[in-house]
Amino acid sequence: MTRPLYIGSEIYRHSSYGPKHPLAVPRVSTCTDLCRALGWLPDRVYVEAPMASEAALARFHDPAYVAALRRAEAAQAVSEAERARYRLGAEGNPVYPEMFRRPAISAGGVMLAARLTASGGVVHCPGGGTHHGRRDRASGFCFLNDPVLGLLAWLDQGLGNIVYVDIDAHHGDGVQDAFAGDERVLTISVHEAGRWPFTGAAEDRAGGTARNLPVPKGFNDSEFLYLLDHAVLPLVRARRPQAIMLQAGADALAEDPLARLSLSNNAYFAAAAALLGLAPRLVVLGGGGYNPWAVGRCWAGVWATLNGLPIPPRLPAEAEAVLRALRFDRAAGRDPPAHWFTTLRDAPRPGPVREEVVRLAALTLEERLSA
Protein backbone atom coordinates (compact mmCIF):
# COMPACT_ATOMS: atom_id res chain seq x y z
CA MET A 1 0.00 0.00 0.00
CA THR A 2 1.16 3.54 -0.71
CA ARG A 3 2.02 5.93 2.12
CA PRO A 4 -0.85 7.60 3.94
CA LEU A 5 -1.59 11.12 2.75
CA TYR A 6 -2.51 14.13 4.91
CA ILE A 7 -4.99 16.66 3.56
CA GLY A 8 -4.90 20.00 5.35
CA SER A 9 -5.51 23.66 4.66
CA GLU A 10 -4.13 26.94 5.89
CA ILE A 11 -7.65 28.37 6.03
CA TYR A 12 -8.18 26.80 9.46
CA ARG A 13 -5.23 28.61 11.01
CA HIS A 14 -6.82 32.03 11.49
CA SER A 15 -10.49 31.27 10.88
CA SER A 16 -12.74 31.48 13.94
CA TYR A 17 -16.46 31.15 14.47
CA GLY A 18 -16.16 34.17 16.80
CA PRO A 19 -14.56 34.72 20.22
CA LYS A 20 -17.42 33.24 22.25
CA HIS A 21 -18.04 30.20 20.03
CA PRO A 22 -16.57 26.77 20.91
CA LEU A 23 -14.91 26.83 17.46
CA ALA A 24 -12.90 29.92 18.38
CA VAL A 25 -9.91 27.62 18.91
CA PRO A 26 -7.40 26.47 16.25
CA ARG A 27 -7.52 22.70 15.68
CA VAL A 28 -6.35 21.52 12.26
CA SER A 29 -3.40 23.91 12.27
CA THR A 30 -2.33 22.60 15.69
CA CYS A 31 -2.43 19.03 14.40
CA THR A 32 -0.49 19.98 11.26
CA ASP A 33 2.12 21.98 13.20
CA LEU A 34 2.59 19.17 15.73
CA CYS A 35 3.04 16.59 12.98
CA ARG A 36 5.57 18.85 11.23
CA ALA A 37 7.44 19.51 14.48
CA LEU A 38 7.70 15.77 15.07
CA GLY A 39 9.02 15.15 11.55
CA TRP A 40 5.92 13.15 10.65
CA LEU A 41 4.73 15.31 7.77
CA PRO A 42 7.21 15.53 4.89
CA ASP A 43 6.03 17.70 2.00
CA ARG A 44 5.47 14.68 -0.26
CA VAL A 45 2.58 13.40 1.88
CA TYR A 46 0.95 16.79 2.58
CA VAL A 47 -1.85 17.86 0.22
CA GLU A 48 -3.56 21.24 0.43
CA ALA A 49 -7.35 20.79 0.22
CA PRO A 50 -8.98 22.42 -2.82
CA MET A 51 -12.20 24.39 -2.46
CA ALA A 52 -15.21 22.42 -3.73
CA SER A 53 -17.11 24.11 -6.54
CA GLU A 54 -20.78 24.93 -6.14
CA ALA A 55 -21.49 22.28 -8.79
CA ALA A 56 -19.62 19.65 -6.72
CA LEU A 57 -21.48 20.65 -3.56
CA ALA A 58 -24.76 20.20 -5.43
CA ARG A 59 -24.10 16.44 -5.43
CA PHE A 60 -25.68 16.58 -1.96
CA HIS A 61 -26.65 20.15 -1.13
CA ASP A 62 -29.55 22.26 -2.37
CA PRO A 63 -28.00 24.81 -4.79
CA ALA A 64 -30.26 27.53 -3.37
CA TYR A 65 -28.83 26.90 0.10
CA VAL A 66 -25.23 26.91 -1.17
CA ALA A 67 -25.92 30.20 -2.97
CA ALA A 68 -27.37 31.66 0.24
CA LEU A 69 -24.29 30.54 2.18
CA ARG A 70 -22.03 32.23 -0.35
CA ARG A 71 -24.10 35.44 -0.25
CA ALA A 72 -23.97 35.43 3.55
CA GLU A 73 -20.18 35.24 3.46
CA ALA A 74 -19.95 38.12 0.98
CA ALA A 75 -22.41 40.33 2.86
CA GLN A 76 -21.44 39.16 6.38
CA ALA A 77 -25.15 39.35 7.09
CA VAL A 78 -28.30 37.33 6.48
CA SER A 79 -31.90 38.36 6.06
CA GLU A 80 -34.45 37.28 8.64
CA ALA A 81 -36.00 34.93 6.07
CA GLU A 82 -32.66 33.24 5.31
CA ARG A 83 -31.84 32.93 9.00
CA ALA A 84 -35.11 31.13 9.55
CA ARG A 85 -34.91 28.98 6.43
CA TYR A 86 -31.22 28.03 6.40
CA ARG A 87 -30.31 28.49 10.12
CA LEU A 88 -27.47 30.82 9.10
CA GLY A 89 -26.56 33.24 11.88
CA ALA A 90 -28.58 31.10 14.27
CA GLU A 91 -28.32 28.03 16.50
CA GLY A 92 -24.52 27.99 16.78
CA ASN A 93 -24.00 28.51 13.03
CA PRO A 94 -22.62 32.05 13.06
CA VAL A 95 -22.05 34.52 10.26
CA TYR A 96 -18.24 34.71 10.12
CA PRO A 97 -15.66 35.78 7.53
CA GLU A 98 -14.94 32.34 5.97
CA MET A 99 -18.38 30.80 6.44
CA PHE A 100 -18.57 29.58 2.83
CA ARG A 101 -14.90 29.07 1.95
CA ARG A 102 -13.98 27.13 5.08
CA PRO A 103 -16.69 24.44 4.78
CA ALA A 104 -16.24 24.36 0.99
CA ILE A 105 -12.53 23.63 1.52
CA SER A 106 -13.38 20.94 4.09
CA ALA A 107 -15.74 19.41 1.52
CA GLY A 108 -13.14 19.72 -1.24
CA GLY A 109 -10.64 17.97 1.02
CA VAL A 110 -12.85 15.01 1.82
CA MET A 111 -13.94 14.61 -1.81
CA LEU A 112 -10.27 14.71 -2.78
CA ALA A 113 -9.60 12.01 -0.17
CA ALA A 114 -12.15 9.81 -1.94
CA ARG A 115 -10.43 10.44 -5.30
CA LEU A 116 -6.94 9.81 -3.91
CA THR A 117 -8.08 6.46 -2.53
CA ALA A 118 -9.92 5.39 -5.71
CA SER A 119 -7.62 2.40 -6.06
CA GLY A 120 -6.85 2.04 -2.35
CA GLY A 121 -4.95 3.90 0.33
CA VAL A 122 -5.17 5.81 3.58
CA VAL A 123 -5.88 9.53 4.01
CA HIS A 124 -6.10 11.69 7.14
CA CYS A 125 -8.21 14.79 6.59
CA PRO A 126 -8.69 16.39 10.01
CA GLY A 127 -10.53 19.41 8.59
CA GLY A 128 -13.42 17.14 7.58
CA GLY A 129 -16.09 15.64 9.80
CA THR A 130 -19.00 18.11 9.69
CA HIS A 131 -21.50 15.31 10.29
CA HIS A 132 -24.54 17.38 11.25
CA GLY A 133 -24.80 19.39 8.00
CA ARG A 134 -28.10 19.06 6.12
CA ARG A 135 -28.94 19.16 2.44
CA ASP A 136 -30.59 22.56 2.72
CA ARG A 137 -29.54 24.05 6.05
CA ALA A 138 -26.78 24.44 8.60
CA SER A 139 -26.91 22.40 11.79
CA GLY A 140 -24.72 22.00 14.88
CA PHE A 141 -21.77 24.20 13.74
CA CYS A 142 -21.84 22.38 10.35
CA PHE A 143 -22.64 24.43 7.24
CA LEU A 144 -22.05 21.61 4.75
CA ASN A 145 -21.74 17.85 5.22
CA ASP A 146 -18.29 16.84 4.01
CA PRO A 147 -18.54 13.18 5.14
CA VAL A 148 -21.66 12.73 3.00
CA LEU A 149 -19.95 14.34 -0.01
CA GLY A 150 -16.92 12.08 0.42
CA LEU A 151 -19.04 8.95 0.74
CA LEU A 152 -21.02 9.96 -2.37
CA ALA A 153 -17.72 10.43 -4.23
CA TRP A 154 -16.80 6.84 -3.37
CA LEU A 155 -20.23 5.60 -4.48
CA ASP A 156 -19.85 7.55 -7.74
CA GLN A 157 -16.62 5.64 -8.39
CA GLY A 158 -18.71 2.47 -8.33
CA LEU A 159 -18.07 1.30 -4.79
CA GLY A 160 -21.08 -0.46 -3.34
CA ASN A 161 -20.04 -1.48 0.17
CA ILE A 162 -18.86 1.22 2.55
CA VAL A 163 -18.84 1.56 6.34
CA TYR A 164 -18.91 4.95 8.09
CA VAL A 165 -17.82 4.86 11.75
CA ASP A 166 -18.44 7.98 13.85
CA ILE A 167 -16.91 8.26 17.34
CA ASP A 168 -17.69 11.95 17.91
CA ALA A 169 -19.51 12.62 21.21
CA HIS A 170 -22.56 13.68 19.18
CA HIS A 171 -24.74 11.44 17.02
CA GLY A 172 -23.77 11.51 13.32
CA ASP A 173 -27.34 12.37 12.37
CA GLY A 174 -26.70 14.14 9.07
CA VAL A 175 -24.72 11.23 7.64
CA GLN A 176 -27.13 8.57 8.93
CA ASP A 177 -30.11 10.38 7.44
CA ALA A 178 -28.39 11.00 4.08
CA PHE A 179 -27.88 7.25 3.57
CA ALA A 180 -30.94 5.89 5.39
CA GLY A 181 -32.25 2.99 3.33
CA ASP A 182 -29.19 2.94 1.04
CA GLU A 183 -27.77 -0.56 1.47
CA ARG A 184 -24.40 0.51 0.09
CA VAL A 185 -23.47 2.51 3.21
CA LEU A 186 -23.66 1.26 6.80
CA THR A 187 -23.35 4.09 9.34
CA ILE A 188 -22.22 3.27 12.88
CA SER A 189 -22.28 6.01 15.51
CA VAL A 190 -20.96 5.86 19.09
CA HIS A 191 -22.12 8.97 20.96
CA GLU A 192 -23.16 10.29 24.36
CA ALA A 193 -26.75 9.38 25.27
CA GLY A 194 -29.07 12.28 26.00
CA ARG A 195 -26.92 14.89 24.29
CA TRP A 196 -27.80 17.13 21.34
CA PRO A 197 -29.13 16.31 18.68
CA PHE A 198 -30.98 13.76 20.89
CA THR A 199 -31.24 11.22 18.04
CA GLY A 200 -29.41 7.93 17.56
CA ALA A 201 -31.15 5.64 20.04
CA ALA A 202 -29.92 2.04 20.12
CA GLU A 203 -33.15 0.90 18.48
CA ASP A 204 -32.80 3.41 15.63
CA ARG A 205 -31.42 1.51 12.63
CA ALA A 206 -32.66 3.80 9.86
CA GLY A 207 -34.40 0.86 8.21
CA GLY A 208 -31.34 -1.37 8.52
CA THR A 209 -28.53 0.87 7.28
CA ALA A 210 -27.51 2.34 10.64
CA ARG A 211 -26.31 1.14 14.03
CA ASN A 212 -26.31 3.44 17.03
CA LEU A 213 -24.45 3.09 20.31
CA PRO A 214 -25.54 5.81 22.76
CA VAL A 215 -23.15 5.59 25.71
CA PRO A 216 -23.47 6.87 29.30
CA LYS A 217 -21.65 9.81 30.87
CA GLY A 218 -18.17 8.93 32.07
CA PHE A 219 -17.66 6.42 29.20
CA ASN A 220 -14.08 5.21 29.74
CA ASP A 221 -11.33 3.60 27.65
CA SER A 222 -12.21 0.06 28.81
CA GLU A 223 -15.81 0.58 27.75
CA PHE A 224 -14.73 2.02 24.41
CA LEU A 225 -12.49 -0.99 23.73
CA TYR A 226 -15.31 -3.30 24.77
CA LEU A 227 -17.69 -1.73 22.25
CA LEU A 228 -14.99 -1.72 19.60
CA ASP A 229 -14.31 -5.44 20.07
CA HIS A 230 -17.87 -6.58 20.70
CA ALA A 231 -19.92 -4.40 18.38
CA VAL A 232 -18.11 -2.09 15.95
CA LEU A 233 -15.39 -4.39 14.64
CA PRO A 234 -17.67 -7.47 14.29
CA LEU A 235 -20.09 -5.33 12.22
CA VAL A 236 -17.30 -4.00 10.04
CA ARG A 237 -15.68 -7.41 9.55
CA ALA A 238 -18.99 -9.02 8.64
CA ARG A 239 -19.46 -6.47 5.84
CA ARG A 240 -15.96 -6.89 4.36
CA PRO A 241 -16.22 -3.27 3.16
CA GLN A 242 -14.42 -1.79 0.19
CA ALA A 243 -13.91 1.44 2.08
CA ILE A 244 -14.14 2.80 5.62
CA MET A 245 -14.57 6.41 6.71
CA LEU A 246 -13.81 7.16 10.37
CA GLN A 247 -15.14 10.41 11.82
CA ALA A 248 -12.85 10.98 14.80
CA GLY A 249 -14.46 13.99 16.46
CA ALA A 250 -12.34 14.62 19.55
CA ASP A 251 -15.13 15.79 21.86
CA ALA A 252 -15.46 12.38 23.54
CA LEU A 253 -12.12 13.04 25.26
CA ALA A 254 -12.33 13.68 29.00
CA GLU A 255 -10.95 17.23 28.64
CA ASP A 256 -13.66 18.35 26.23
CA PRO A 257 -15.84 21.19 27.54
CA LEU A 258 -18.96 20.28 25.53
CA ALA A 259 -19.50 16.60 26.39
CA ARG A 260 -19.26 14.40 29.47
CA LEU A 261 -17.39 11.35 28.22
CA SER A 262 -14.06 10.28 29.70
CA LEU A 263 -11.92 8.81 26.95
CA SER A 264 -8.18 9.24 26.61
CA ASN A 265 -6.73 9.65 23.14
CA ASN A 266 -5.59 6.01 23.31
CA ALA A 267 -9.19 5.09 22.47
CA TYR A 268 -8.96 7.06 19.21
CA PHE A 269 -5.61 5.50 18.33
CA ALA A 270 -7.06 2.04 19.01
CA ALA A 271 -10.02 2.71 16.70
CA ALA A 272 -7.80 3.98 13.89
CA ALA A 273 -5.40 1.04 14.26
CA ALA A 274 -8.19 -1.52 14.32
CA LEU A 275 -9.94 -0.15 11.22
CA LEU A 276 -6.70 0.26 9.27
CA GLY A 277 -6.51 -3.31 8.05
CA LEU A 278 -10.22 -3.94 7.51
CA ALA A 279 -10.64 -2.35 4.09
CA PRO A 280 -8.38 -1.36 1.19
CA ARG A 281 -9.44 2.28 1.65
CA LEU A 282 -9.52 4.26 4.90
CA VAL A 283 -10.25 7.97 5.23
CA VAL A 284 -10.06 9.47 8.72
CA LEU A 285 -11.76 12.81 9.41
CA GLY A 286 -11.87 15.17 12.36
CA GLY A 287 -15.16 16.49 13.69
CA GLY A 288 -15.95 17.99 17.08
CA GLY A 289 -13.35 18.73 19.71
CA TYR A 290 -13.27 21.98 21.65
CA ASN A 291 -10.24 21.80 23.92
CA PRO A 292 -7.40 22.97 21.65
CA TRP A 293 -4.67 20.92 23.36
CA ALA A 294 -6.73 17.73 23.49
CA VAL A 295 -7.80 18.00 19.84
CA GLY A 296 -4.37 18.74 18.43
CA ARG A 297 -2.68 15.96 20.41
CA CYS A 298 -5.42 13.47 19.51
CA TRP A 299 -5.46 14.07 15.77
CA ALA A 300 -1.66 14.19 15.54
CA GLY A 301 -1.54 10.84 17.36
CA VAL A 302 -4.09 9.43 14.93
CA TRP A 303 -1.78 10.41 12.08
CA ALA A 304 1.14 8.67 13.83
CA THR A 305 -1.04 5.58 14.25
CA LEU A 306 -1.99 5.50 10.57
CA ASN A 307 1.72 5.62 9.71
CA GLY A 308 2.87 3.15 12.34
CA LEU A 309 5.11 5.84 13.84
CA PRO A 310 6.11 5.55 17.50
CA ILE A 311 4.83 8.38 19.71
CA PRO A 312 7.69 9.67 21.89
CA PRO A 313 6.90 9.73 25.62
CA ARG A 314 8.25 13.32 25.89
CA LEU A 315 7.62 15.78 23.08
CA PRO A 316 10.61 17.51 21.50
CA ALA A 317 10.93 21.25 22.20
CA GLU A 318 9.51 22.30 18.81
CA ALA A 319 6.32 20.32 19.37
CA GLU A 320 5.99 21.56 22.93
CA ALA A 321 6.27 25.13 21.60
CA VAL A 322 3.26 24.51 19.31
CA LEU A 323 1.18 23.51 22.34
CA ARG A 324 2.50 26.31 24.56
CA ALA A 325 1.45 28.91 21.98
CA LEU A 326 -2.24 27.95 22.28
CA ARG A 327 -4.68 30.12 24.21
CA PHE A 328 -8.05 28.98 25.55
CA ASP A 329 -10.63 31.32 27.07
CA ARG A 330 -12.28 28.75 29.29
CA ALA A 331 -11.65 27.52 32.81
CA ALA A 332 -9.40 24.73 31.54
CA GLY A 333 -7.23 27.29 29.78
CA ARG A 334 -6.24 29.15 32.93
CA ASP A 335 -4.01 26.52 34.44
CA PRO A 336 -3.44 23.70 31.94
CA PRO A 337 -1.64 20.64 33.33
CA ALA A 338 1.96 20.16 32.19
CA HIS A 339 1.29 16.97 30.26
CA TRP A 340 -0.86 18.90 27.75
CA PHE A 341 2.39 20.54 26.64
CA THR A 342 4.95 17.82 27.11
CA THR A 343 3.21 14.65 25.87
CA LEU A 344 1.08 13.53 22.96
CA ARG A 345 -0.32 10.30 24.33
CA ASP A 346 -2.62 10.58 27.35
CA ALA A 347 -2.38 8.27 30.34
CA PRO A 348 -5.00 5.54 29.71
CA ARG A 349 -8.38 6.05 31.38
CA PRO A 350 -9.54 2.51 32.14
CA GLY A 351 -12.54 1.74 34.30
CA PRO A 352 -15.29 -0.78 34.91
CA VAL A 353 -17.28 -1.89 31.87
CA ARG A 354 -20.79 -1.06 33.02
CA GLU A 355 -23.67 -3.43 32.48
CA GLU A 356 -25.46 -0.97 30.19
CA VAL A 357 -22.44 -0.91 27.89
CA VAL A 358 -22.36 -4.71 27.71
CA ARG A 359 -26.09 -4.70 26.90
CA LEU A 360 -25.57 -2.07 24.23
CA ALA A 361 -23.03 -4.24 22.43
CA ALA A 362 -25.35 -7.25 22.50
CA LEU A 363 -28.28 -5.18 21.25
CA THR A 364 -26.19 -3.74 18.42
CA LEU A 365 -25.36 -7.19 17.08
CA GLU A 366 -28.89 -8.55 17.48
CA GLU A 367 -30.32 -9.55 14.12
CA ARG A 368 -34.02 -9.21 14.85
CA LEU A 369 -33.78 -5.44 14.96
CA SER A 370 -32.20 -5.30 11.54
CA ALA A 371 -35.36 -4.93 9.50
Size of the site for Zn ion (CB under 5 A): 6
Our finding on whether 124 is near Zn ion (CB under 5 A) is no
- The one catalytic residue among 61, 124, 131, 132: 132
> Nearer Cβ to Zn ion, position 126 or 249?
249
**Does residue number 108 form part of the binding site for Zn ion (CB under 5 A)?**
no
- Taking CB under 5 A as the binding criterion, the range among 4-12, 53-61, 246-254, 347-355 that sits at the site for Zn ion is 246-254
Judge whether 163 and 186 are in contact, CB under 8 Å. Answer: yes
Residue 43: count of CB within 10 angstroms of its CB: 7
For 21, 151, 309, 320, the CA distances from 80, given in Å and listed in that order, are 21, 33, 51, 46
Annotate each residue in 167-206 with x if it binds Zn ion (CB under 5 A) or - if it does not, as one string. Answer: -xxx------------------------------------
| CB of 254 or CB of 322, closer to Zn ion | 254
CA distance 364 to 226: 13
Q: Please identify, using beta-carbon distances, which residue of 154 and 268 lies nearer to Zn ion.
A: 268
> Within 10 Å of residue 159's Cβ, how many Cβ atoms?
19
* Count, residues in the chain: 371
Integer Cα distance of 216 and 342 in angstroms: 31
When the beta carbons of 141 and 340 are compared against Zn ion, the nearer one is: 141
Our finding on whether 251 is near Zn ion (CB under 5 A) is yes
Instruction: Please give the helix or strand (H or E) that residue 188 lies within, else none.
Output: strand 185-192
Amino acid symbol at 220: N
| Pair 200, 188: CB distance under 8 Å | no
CA distances from 253 to 217, 294, 358 (A): 12, 7, 21
> Does the annotation mark 14 as catalytic?
no
| Interface pick for Zn ion out of 288, 292, 296, 301 (rule CB under 5 A) | 288
**C-alpha distance across the termini of the chain, in Å:** 37
Q: Which stretch binds Zn ion (CB under 5 A): 3-11, 50-58, 161-169, 358-366?
A: 161-169
Candidates 22-30, 33-41, 113-121, 247-255; binding stretch for Zn ion (CB under 5 A): 247-255
The least distance separating Zn ion from the CB of residue 290, rounded to whole angstroms, comes to: 8
The dihedral region occupied by 218, where left means phi > 0, alpha psi between -120 and 50, and beta the remainder, is left
Applying CB under 5 A, the span of 4-12, 53-61, 160-168, 228-236 interacting with Zn ion comes to: 160-168
Nearer to Zn ion, 109 or 129 (CB): 129
CA distance linking residue 260 with residue 180, whole number of Å: 28
How far apart are the C-alpha atoms of 157 and 205, rounded to whole Å? 26
Least separation in angstroms between residue 129's CB and Zn ion is 9
Q: Of 45 and 250, which CB lies nearer to Zn ion in the complex structure?
A: 250
**Residues with catalytic roles:** 132
* Residues making contact with Zn ion (CB under 5 A): 168-170, 249, 251, 288
